[in-house]
């Protein structure tokens, strides 16, 4: 089984970006944790980050036939991008929406997700630990009854 962990804008700055909100772990730390979790649950994990909306749309489209599902932290595009929502709808791939912070406990503009309605579920508020959680949840969804 192969899962793509796709990260959106500004997540390349993790570790130095508002650490009181997003924590001290860098994206490289998170990637290493995901690879470790992947080994434990027999999932091949691939990581991708882009600050560009179109590149994220491309990544979702390109995942078809190459991945079984996507863990997506779309960053701020979560709250604005109909293009990302449409890309998710256009693929038959299960997508799990992920956020480090609890977006519902923050500014009101973060309460609305354009993508949640086309995702299989949402994990938010557990910081970097949300990534391995999301991988386990998505793998469980892809392997029901195991």
Q: Which residues are annotated as a binding site for substrate?
A: 73, 79, 86, 100-101, 110
Is there binding between residue 34 and ligand DQA (CB under 6 A)?
Answer: no
Footprint of ligand DQA on residues 59-98 (CB under 6 A)?
73, 75-76, 78
Cα-based angle 107, 26, 93 (whole degrees, multiple of 5)? 70
* Residue selected from 27, 100, 138, 139 as contacting ligand DQA according to rule CB under 6 A: 100
Residue nearer to ligand DQA on the CB measure, 39 or 109: 109
Is there binding between residue 110 and ligand DQA (CB under 6 A)?
Answer: yes
Closest distance between ligand DQA and the C-beta of residue 110, in Å? 4
Annotation marks residue 111 as catalytic: no
Is there binding between residue 51 and ligand DQA (CB under 6 A)?
Answer: no
Q: Which residue has the tokens 């091949």?
A: 44
10 vs 51: CA distance, rounded Å: 6
Q: Where are the alpha helices (DSSP H) in 63-129?
A: 82-90
DSSP one-letter code for 7:
E
CB count, 10 Å around CB of 92?
A: 7
Residues engaged in binding ligand DQA (CB under 6 A): 10, 73, 75-76, 78, 99-101, 103, 110
């Amino acid at each position: 089984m192969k899962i793509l962990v796709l990260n959106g804008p500004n997540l390349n700055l993790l570790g130095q970006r508002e650490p009181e909100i997003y924590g001290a772990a860098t994206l490289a730390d998170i990637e290493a944790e995901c690879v470790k979790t992947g080994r434990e649950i027999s999932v091949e994990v691939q990581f991708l980050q882009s600050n560009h909306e179109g590149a994220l749309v491309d990544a979702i489209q390109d995942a078809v036939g190459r991945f079984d599902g996507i863990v997506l932290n779309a960053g701020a595009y979560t709250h604005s991008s109909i293009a990302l929502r449409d890309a998710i709808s256009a693929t038959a791939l299960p997508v799990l929406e992920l956020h480090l912070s609890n977006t519902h406990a923050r500014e009101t503009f973060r309460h609305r997700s354009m993508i949640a309605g086309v995702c299989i579920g949402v994990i938010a508020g557990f910081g970097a630990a949300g990534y391995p959680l999301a991988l386990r949840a998505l793998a469980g969804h892809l392997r029901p009854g195991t």
